[in-house]
Amino acid sequence: MASKAGQPPLPPWGNALAGATGAVLANAIVYPLDIVKTRLQVQVKRKSTDEAPLTTNDIHYTSTMDAIRKIMEDEGVLGLYSGINGSLIGVASTNFAYFYWYSVVRTLYISAQSLPKPPSTTIELSLGAAAGAIAQVFTIPVAVVTTRQQTQPKGDKKGLLDTGREVINSEDGYSGLWRGLKASLVLVVNPAITYGAYQRLRELLFVGKTNLRPWESFFLGAASKALATIATQPLIVAKVGLQSRPPPARQGKPFKTFIEVMAYIIEHEGPLALFKGLVPQITKGILVQGLLMMTKERMEILFVVLFAYMRRIRSEKLQKAAEAAASKAKEVLPIEKAKQAMPALMK
């Protein structure tokens, strides 16, 4: 990452901490939209009233506002925050891992160039995809458990650990915690598109500007996330279907691949259903990404100032230690000279 105001650049863990902090704050603010988009994405319309439910929740939502209203009526206000603890843990771990590895691979790439220069759009996307893939492998179990919590019926709510045990016991053992990994690895193009577009738009619209205003960071984050969400929405819907409980109509048989989920949705609702939940998904994505990048920019500046202060304190301590050592040496020198002169005086 570029340094702020001429200060030394942040280390990878500094960028990761700034990104994770921004992501947690942003996702906590818009979490109800996360619940709504997940509920909309897992539901499948019945073809007739006699047919077995095609979703884990008997309540059918027709829109974002309808979902919010029905969730509040059925579960109260707290229903809009079901599974928030696991979600924020997942958000923090995923974003910390992503920003850490993104910073590492980007720095390594630039330093490997004979003439260091900013990566091209293609390279930027590739670096983002590589970082996203590494992050997903380590953090997907939390995403699986959180999706289960968000889609649990009212009378079957469980905590984070109990939901994790349910996933392990009811499906493929511990490997069930990595359900949807292939779809997630394909979906690394989403953050890759997002952050690649963010970097490119920043270079085009704010040439030579090191510190962006909050509204500028928000605009860039929102615009880049909107592009990425529209491009990857069918895969997002398929991944949610993989990680949620299997619909009752499948008699407990879970989906095995995201292609299977997409085929099931198309069979029962048509191709356009692959974009269901797009409104809350893109609204949440825009708000989260805008708030994340705005917060991350501020946090990076804060950390740069903090690190500069810590370096100054350390430098002052080293300087004082050096001065003390020099002073002590000056005190010892006359004594040594006197000792050396004693034999001559004794003669």
Domains of the chain by range and CATH? 12-323 (1.50.40.10)
Tell me which residue of 83, 91, 103 sits closest to 20, measured CA to CA: 91
Q: Give the C-alpha separation, 100 to 16, whole Å.
A: 5
Q: How far is CA 271 from CA 45, 84, 215, 267, 310, in A?
A: 13, 31, 37, 8, 56
pLDDT given for residue 69 in this prediction:
92
Q: How far is CA 182 from CA 140, 234, 235, 242, in A?
A: 11, 14, 11, 10
Question: Which percentage of the chain shows pLDDT scores above 90?
Answer: 1
CB atoms within 10 A of CB 88: 18
Q: Report the b/e string of 150-181 with b at 16+ CB within 10 A.
A: bbbeeeeeeebeebbebbbeebeeeebbbbbb
Q: Give the C-alpha separation, 258 to 239, whole Å.
A: 6
Q: How confident is the model at residue 123 (pLDDT cuts 50, 70, 90)?
A: confident
Q: Report pTM.
A: 0.60
What pLDDT, in 10s, does the model give residues 209-231? Answer: 777 787 888 788 778 888 888 88
What single letter denotes the amino acid at residue 186?
Answer: V
Q: Give the C-alpha separation, 284 to 32, whole Å.
A: 9
What pLDDT, in 10s, does the model give residues 188-211? Answer: 777 677 777 887 888 888 877 777
Q: How confident is the model at residue 1 (pLDDT cuts 50, 70, 90)?
A: very low
pLDDT given for residue 215 in this prediction:
80
Q: Copy the structure tokens of residue 223.
A: 């615009």
Residue 43 and residue 248 in contact, taking contact as beta carbons nearer than 8 Å: no
Tokens 């001559």, located at residue: 344
Q: How confident is the model at residue 7 (pLDDT cuts 50, 70, 90)?
A: very low
What pLDDT, in 10s, does the model give residues 91-120? Answer: 888 888 888 888 888 888 878 776 667 777
Residue 59 and residue 36 in contact, taking contact as beta carbons nearer than 8 Å: no
What pLDDT, in 10s, does the model give residues 28-66? Answer: 888 898 888 888 888 876 555 545 545 555 678 888 889
Residue 226 and residue 28 in contact, taking contact as beta carbons nearer than 8 Å: no
Task: Tell me the pLDDT of the chain averaged across its residues.
Answer: 77
